[in-house]
Amino acid sequence: MDYSVKEDYAAEQDKLDALSHFKNEFYIRDGWYYMDGNSLGLLSKRAENSLLTSLEDWKQHGIDGWMDGREPWFYYSEKLGKMTAPLIGSKVRETIVTGSITTNLHQMISSFYKPDGKKTKILADELTFPSDIYAVKSQLELKGYDPATDLVQVKSRDGLTLREEDIIAAMADDVALILLPSVLYRSGQLLDMKLLTEEAHKRGIIIGFDLAHSIGAIPHHLHNWDVDFAVWCNYKYLNSGPGGVGGLFVHERHLGRKPGLAGWFGSKKEKQFDMEHTMTHADTAGAFQIGTPHIFSLAPLLGSLEIFEEAGIENIRAKSLKLTNYMMHLIEVSLAEFGFTISNPAVDHSRGGHVCLQHEEAARICKALKKNGVIPDFRAPNVIRLAPVALYTSFQDVWDTVQILKTIMEEEQYKQFEKGRNVVA
């Protein structure tokens, strides 16, 4: 698109935006430009209402809320899995909302990592979120392997992005399992999941993805891409609230596989309360649940997913790309003299939902942005992440954010702050 740096262009785009009315669904303070939805999404009124519904069910029904509430808790994870399936391109039986992203990673690795002969290694990358690597190392050690030799991490050529050809080249005969991010959390690079899955399967390797920075921002086709498994959190683009319950996908050809970690909520629903010491696993992705669902962390996701059903993930992706392209254009034109580098991929098919800026004063600039009402995200040592989220960010918000950043740099406002990150960056 041909973007203009004039403010009236932003106003005109907002008039044309078919998703603009969804902003009214969210709690946004006046004078607040929230650009950190890739870390924690905002509360919507519907999410608030669905949480209040579960609280009311507890109030009115006590233990009978599991079956008799307005939203029965016993089937909540399955209901939310069904609502999530269109966002990731899965069949309903392949998807469940459960656990946290790291506990689900442990479940998936323990279920799918089956070292055999010389195939002992797990392939990951050196840029992925640390928790993923902690889980991989832990699972290797539990199986008696040494992470120093049996964890292979693909190197980045520039410290920010990965090349699919480098990942494919690392798919050696001794690799048993691959775990990769769909979108890199720092740079926002979107990997070609379809290609990587095809190449892994050509070599007889199981492959799974961490969708934390893509679910709710981009469409997926996990079933058709033949992905073996995936995990995600729901509190970023899906706006389920801090520490909200995560989710997992298992391709239907693997359903019936015995989970590596067993717990009673992985039982067939009709057998769960038989209280037998021999477990009868569900024949869906529900088999990979472990413990009792955290209902008050699940509940807000119901209201949030209703919004996604109405908005449509393809429409959300289209607007997200427009917003990030617009933001990058404004930065390139308005901030060229201030030493910023845009480090996320420029092409649409390789970019997730946020803009990655590098600057040597990134930490202090983020503090100055917050003082001016803009909520960014800092990643050490020099990255500013800005996420204009399609459901609650306007083009005017993007224009204002860049103008605020320009004023901060012109007036050197960042110099009043100490260097270094806050406890929660």
Residue type, 330: L
Instruction: Give strand pairing partners of 13.
Output: none
Helix (H) or strand (E) holding 356: strand 355-358
Helix (H) or strand (E) holding 147: helix 147-150
Sequential DSSP letters for 72-123:
-GGGHHHHHHHHHHHHHT--GGGEEE-S-HHHHHHHHHHHH---BTTB-EEE
Is 308 annotated as belonging to a binding site? no
- Yes or no: say if 251 and 101 are a contact pair by the CB < 8 Å rule: no
Of 199, 223, 219, 202, give the one whose Cα is nearest residue 211.
Answer: 219
Is 102 annotated as belonging to a binding site? yes
Q: How many CA atoms lie within 13 A of 180 on its CB side?
A: 31
Is 149 annotated as belonging to a binding site? no
Spatial separation of the C-alpha atoms in residues 337 and 368, rounded to whole Å: 18
Distance set, CA 122 to CA 135, 172, 179, 227 (Å): 11, 10, 8, 16
Is 205 annotated as belonging to a binding site? no
Is 292 annotated as belonging to a binding site? yes
Is 235 annotated as belonging to a binding site? yes
Is 21 annotated as belonging to a binding site? no
Distance set, CA 245 to CA 83, 221, 237 (Å): 14, 22, 13
Of 328, 320, 331, give the one whose Cα is nearest residue 388.
Answer: 320
Is 251 annotated as belonging to a binding site? no
Is 210 annotated as belonging to a binding site? yes
Is 335 strand, coil or helix? coil
Binding residues: 101-102, 129-132, 210, 213, 235, 264, 292
Binding residues for pyridoxal 5'-phosphate: 101-102, 129-132, 210, 213, 235, 264, 292
